[in-house]
Amino acid sequence: MAYDTKNNNRKVAVKILNDNLGDDEMALLNNEITIMNNLNHKHVVKYLSHGQADYIKPSGKKSVSYIALEIAEKGELFDFIANTGAFCEETSRYYFKQLISGLEDCHALGVSHRDMKAENCFMDEKYNL
């Protein structure tokens, strides 16, 4: 989590990518940014911005590429299931409908996720995907 200093210090999720991206990796990153920028659905995490910045760790500072995304306050669906146990049928249907709704919108735009799993499903402050 980080704070977007350009937009009222709102909380954002930051996807940090390796430094020194090659041409092929940079093309994939730009493709991902273009795709995410075109998605607009209540059950799909929203793209906010991207860029390069210094990433400071105890071992030193390095320049990295990043993508800033809407934050999912309640974290991963995987962790929620791990902490609460298996869902009853009604709860499973609730989340499945949200998942399918978001995926349907992506597919309508010709976008495939290719890594759909509970670790890649995030929950907002109201526990919606």
CB 111 within 8 A of CB 35: yes
SS3 106: helix
The helix (run of H) or strand (run of E) holding residue 105 is helix 89-108
115 is a catalytic site residue: yes
* All residues at 6 or more sequence positions from 52 whose CB lies less than 8 Å from its CB, including other chains: 63, 64, 65, 66
Residues with catalytic function: 115
